[in-house]
Amino acid sequence: MQHIVSFLSNPKSYNHTVDTVTVVQTHISYVFIAKPYVYKLKKPVDFGFLNFVSLEDRKFYTFEEYRLNSRISPEIYVGVVAIVKEGNSFRLVEDGLHNDSDVVAYCVKMKYIDDAYSLKNLLKQGIGNQLLSLIAQKIYTFHKNADNTEGLQGFGGINEISKNTLENFDQIEKYIGVAVSKNDYTFMRTWTEDFINKHQEFFKNRNEQGFVRDCHGDLHCEHIYYKDDSIIILDCIEFNKRFRYIDTISDIAFLLMDLDINGNIADSNRLCAHYIQLSGDYDGVLLLPFYKAYRAMVRAKINSFQSDNEGITHQERDEYIQKASHYFQLAKRYMQQNTRGVVSIVFGNIGSGKSTIAMELASLTGGVVINSDAVRKKLAGLDVFDKARSKAGEGIYTFEMTEKVYEIMKQKALAIAHAGMSVILDGTFYSKEIRRNFHRFLKEKGIDVQFVYAQCPEKELIRRIERREKDASISDADVEIFMQLKDRFEKPEDEISELYIVNSDTNIEDIRNQLHNIISTD
């Protein structure tokens, strides 16, 4: 293997002009950065959960790495190249014209992309709502198109879920008293076992409903890039189906946890709100604390393992232990998130800025946004950005359909709030009776509820609706529909007591300040 590494470290070995080659090692691969391309060579290692010892296995998983990652970022993954033996040297073959008996190694060939474009680095500068929305759309589209055929279902069974989560605790026992206390270890293991036992039927239903798919498996900030107005996602897990054939909520939970651990909690909340709105997977929200805790435990375990690496300094060992401890504490916090959920109902006329307010409130509180337009379209079998092309009162906008939408919003809000998470309902809620109905229903179920009225002058409403028609929007309402329905909206008076008014005819910072005041009042 070392002769092949030396060969690929030489700029003259490539079929294109290369000035210098930078070699980076991971625990399973050598990465040769030979701009404008990158070549990844698998090491002949066996860690139990992966086995690359034989050339045949390395070949298979190299082609798998190319195939699987081409599902999500085909513009980056170029192909698989072979290294063939020629006398006392080697040759890099890219056209497939070689004898298999002469091949000594295979590499994935990728286009080079600078780390400056990685989400990890972009977060240091601060990112906006638009980028988070694009990331959510990319991941949702990938999940929607990912394979969920019957052969995957065994991996989503309760036995596999138990194995994936509980094996972490077996493997970290030796670090009790080093990276995690005995009390915390016992609490987290008991919580995990109890959660699995309590939700066995729920996990089974998720499996049967097709949420277990051929996912990415390793979604975190270092694997996501933003360049030329496009989201690029790299390095899915190819070496073990057990880590990739998972619930879509488990997949996105890794990225949300990674944002949390790095202090980007508002971005994590906003990304979660965007993804759930696109997917309509409000039931999956109930599993987020479990899967985020699981992902944090995995990272804690890996950092604990790395503290045992040979040849590292005492300082490096202490740093790994400290990182592991931080992940353990994050996992514990996810498990302790059992406060009573609050339902915030953000309402107002068409174009009043309800969705903007709802998303800002989500970023501040971590609440789950349930948007009436998104629920309506999912109910009709549409994607949220599909245009229904129905007039007011027709198609998916009939009175009966609206009644169904509100009933779904009630029931989803109740389930999520009972699980201890906050909910933000985003809709017109045009009549006093509808608002009273929601208030009465939630109060009778023991749920705290508050109303946030998005207030905006009509002239600005029309301007926003005209602008929205030119952009991708969940709402189908145009100016014509607004003019037909504007007088139907009943402004709030005394039908509800827990009412806050947000002036949306202002800049985003002022809206955030108004919401901060509401939160601090509570």
Domain that includes residue 15, residue range: 2-112
Q: Which of 245-254, 291-300, 453-462 is predicted with the least confidence, judged by mean pLDDT? A: 453-462
Residues 204 and 133 in one domain: yes
Asked which of 84, 112, 140 is the last residue of a domain, the reply is: 112
**DSSP conformation letters of 312-354:** --HHHHHHHHHHHHHHHHHHHHHHT--PPPEEEEEE-STTSSH
| Residue 125, amino acid | Q
Residues 368 and 500 in one domain: yes
Exposed / middle / buried, residue 199 (Cβ in 10 Å: 0-12, 13-18, 19+): middle
Q: Which residue would you say has higher pLDDT here, 352 or 122?
A: 122
Q: Which of 151-165, 266-280, 428-442 is predicted with the least confidence, judged by mean pLDDT? A: 151-165
In sequence order, the 6+-apart residues with CB closer than 8 A to the CB of 283 are: 202, 206, 412, 415
| Beta carbons within 10 angstroms of residue 422's beta carbon | 20
Q: Establish if 134 belongs to a structural domain.
A: yes
- Three-state DSSP class for 154? helix
Residues 126 and 232 in one domain: yes
Whether the predicted pLDDT of 102 surpasses 90? no
| Residue 142, amino acid | F
**Phi, psi for residue 179 in degrees, rounded to 5:** -110, -15
**Average pLDDT for the chain:** 90
CA distance 130 to 260: 19
Q: Which of 30-34, 105-109, 282-286, 469-473 is predicted with the least confidence, judged by mean pLDDT? A: 469-473
Residues 158 and 257 in one domain: yes
Q: Which of 6-15, 167-176, 311-320, 472-481 is predicted with the least confidence, judged by mean pLDDT? A: 472-481
Q: What are 197-217's pLDDT values in tens digits?
A: 999 999 999 988 889 999 999
Q: What is the pLDDT of residue 391?
A: 66
Residues 322 and 404 in one domain: no
State the Cα torsion 490-493-497-500 to the nearest 10°.
Answer: 70
Nearest to 245 by CA among 157, 147, 155: 155
Number of domains in the chain: 3
Q: What are 114-138's pLDDT values in tens digits?
A: 999 999 999 999 998 899 999 999 9
Q: Which of 1-10, 94-103, 411-420 is predicted with the least confidence, judged by mean pLDDT? A: 94-103
Mean pLDDT of 350-369: 91
Q: Establish if 331 belongs to a structural domain.
A: yes
Helix orientation angle between 288-306 and 314-335, rounded to the nearest 10 degrees: 170
Q: What is the pTM of this model?
A: 0.90
In sequence order, the 6+-apart residues with CB closer than 8 A to the CB of 439 are: 449, 451, 496, 498
Whether the predicted pLDDT of 251 surpasses 80? yes
Q: Establish if 117 belongs to a structural domain.
A: no
Q: What are 33-69's pLDDT values in tens digits?
A: 999 999 999 999 888 888 899 999 999 999 999 999 9
Residues 241 and 274 in one domain: yes
Structure tokens at 224: 């996501």
Q: Establish if 38 belongs to a structural domain.
A: yes
Asked which of 52, 86, 112 is the last residue of a domain, the reply is: 112
Q: What is the pLDDT of residue 463?
A: 81
Mean pLDDT of 402-415: 94
Q: What is the pLDDT of residue 152?
A: 67
Q: What is the pLDDT of residue 345?
A: 96
Asked which of 335, 364, 395 is the last residue of a domain, the reply is: 335
The domain that contains 506 carries what CATH number? 3.40.50.300
Residues 183 and 253 in one domain: yes
Residues 86 and 172 in one domain: no
Residues 200 and 218 in one domain: yes
Q: What are 429-466's pLDDT values in tens digits?
A: 989 999 999 999 999 999 999 999 999 888 887 787 77
CA distance 376 to 391: 14
Q: What is the pLDDT of residue 104?
A: 94
Note if the bond before 36 is cis, omega within 30 degrees. Answer: yes
Nearest to 70 by CA among 81, 61, 60, 79: 79
Whether the predicted pLDDT of 411 surpasses 90? yes
> How confident is residue 385, by pLDDT bands cut at 50, 70 and 90?
confident
Residues 163 and 209 in one domain: yes
